[in-house]
Structure 1
Amino acid sequence: MSVEDMIRFALIHGPEAAEEIERLCAQHGWLNEGLLEDGTRVVPFARWAQVCAALGRGGVGALRPMLADPELETFAIAVLEDVRSADSVEALLGFCASADWQSPNATHADWKALAALNLLLSFDDAVKIEKSVMDDLLRAVVRAFDVTQVPFLKSLCLMAVRGAPTEAALAWVLQLEAPVEVEAARANALKSLKRRSSPKHKTPDAAQKRQVQRKRAADA
């Protein structure tokens, strides 16, 4: 079983999936840690199982407490990204609201959450959200951009702001004095925000969204 299969299983079968995941975890002795004593790296399936079982029993709401657990937060973030719903977006934004953005490491949970929001909201197959949620995203992006001094992470902020195609977001990017290293990301954000906020922009239908998803998966 892959992690992706486990997530899909939990989403489709709910509590029954949670019981089966936990049974498999016990039967096969899945591990909590990804590094064995001899230095071998393995998939920490027990952590994934814990998060997926919670998703099966309680949906996105059951994952929110796990975002406050240092041992589970990155697993919960990854699952929320895969759920692709307005609820999962709001859970990730709630996590970002309390982030300090101090880590220079892109694999830190704060930046993982922002990267997940970028994937959920910045493309033509974006999860549909209300303007108030876009405003929350913009606040998180502005704070993260101001705190970090790492060019790659500043670029991530500019990629993520594309998910908030509002006048306020466009105004922020227009007035931004960005380092030369992130100017390409700034130009990309401007282009995307102008396109997606235009009255002529049409949201893709379900079939078109699936096509976008397949293309992105093939390009990954």
Structure 2
Amino acid sequence: MNLNALARKAAKGPAPSAYGGSMEVEDMVRFTRVHGAAGADEIERLCAQHGWLSNGLLADGTRVVPFARWAQACVAFGRGGVAGLRPLLADPELASFAIAVLDDVKTFESVQALLGFCAAANWQSSDATHAEWQALSALNLMLSLDDGVKVDQAVMDELLRVVVKAYEAAPRPFLKSLCLWTVRGAPTVQALAWLQQLEVAEADVEGARATAAKSVKRRLSPNYKAPDAKARRQIQRARAADV
């Protein structure tokens, strides 16, 4: 998408321009990834021109997309890459937007940024949409599938440490299951041993544990071959077609 196309989407559509027009969040994120600093400048200009909102909850109770928050995250990434998003992770009002952009970027550097955020989390919130759980969910999506981001042993060891801490603190069964799904991204002997020794009472959590153990064991097998670039593209296309 070029600069003019994004501007047209922002200005026209079923929604008022202050609510983004016909633009989607994905349009803004991908636009920034393609155009970098120039894209960041254009998004900043459009935000000021149309008065995009920072608060997604209007006075009458209506919910809208807070495009101004998304713009801040996209501008930070466009100008500074993953490093530009790290300061936003420390801001409770912007962390979720930064995490979503990092999830979309799907690089080794974005995995490291999310892991660093998770390493400092206390995992006390029972809300699955809280930033710390959102970050863990992003790591699950980025690392747990065969076509996930390629990482080294150090990242897998850190992911296991994060998951164990989160699992032990998780206040809800669903969040414990999320931890177990995420540990699939650390296919190591240590992760498999941890999964195998866990004693789980809840049926859903036990199901997640069994699934994770099976996945880690499969990826540890000497017969396992990670998909090459062509196979990864085929997997991603098939997944996109199912959405």
Q: Tell me whether the two structures share a fold, i.e. TM-score over 0.5.
A: yes
Tell me if structure 1 keeps the 8 A contact 2:163–2:179: yes
Give the C-alpha shift of residue 29 in structure 1: 1.1
Return the alpha-carbon distance in structure 1 between the equivalents of residues 146 and 234 of structure 2: 10
C-alpha contact (below 8 Å) 2:124/2:171 kept by paired residues: no
**Equivalence map 1:64-213=2 (5 Å):** 64-181=86-203, 182-213=205-236
User: Any idea what SS the aligned residue of 2:39 has?
Assistant: helix
C-alpha displacement at 1:213, in angstroms? 2.2
Contact 1:151 1:179 in 2 (8 A): no
Deviation digits for residues 161-214 of structure 1 (CA, Å, limit 9, x no counterpart): 000000110110011112233111011001100111112111112232222223
> Is 2:28 aligned against 1:30?
no
CA RMSD of aligned residues (A): 1.1
TM superposition score normalised by structure 2: 0.88
Q: Take 1:99 and 1:64, find their aligned partners in 2: how far apart are those partners?
A: 15
Distance 1:154 1:218 in 2: 30
Displacement after TM superposition at 1:135 (Å): 0.5
- TM-fit CA distance, 1:124: 1.2
Query: TM-score scaled to structure 1, two decimals?
Result: 0.97
Whole-angstrom distance in 1 between the partners of 2:213 and 2:239: 21
Larger RCO (alpha carbons 8 Å, 6+ apart): 1
Paired residues of 1:166 and 1:193 also in contact (CA < 8 A): yes
Residue segments in structure 2 that go unaligned for 5+ positions in a row: 1-22
Q: Which amino acid in structure 2 is aligned with residue 145 of structure 1?
A: Y
2:32 equivalent in structure 1 = 10
1:40 aligned to 2:50? Answer: no
Amino acid in structure 1 at the alignment position of 2:45: R
- Length, aligned pairs only: 220
Q: Which runs of 5+ in 1 are unaligned?
A: none
Instruction: Give aligned-pair identity as a percent.
Output: 67
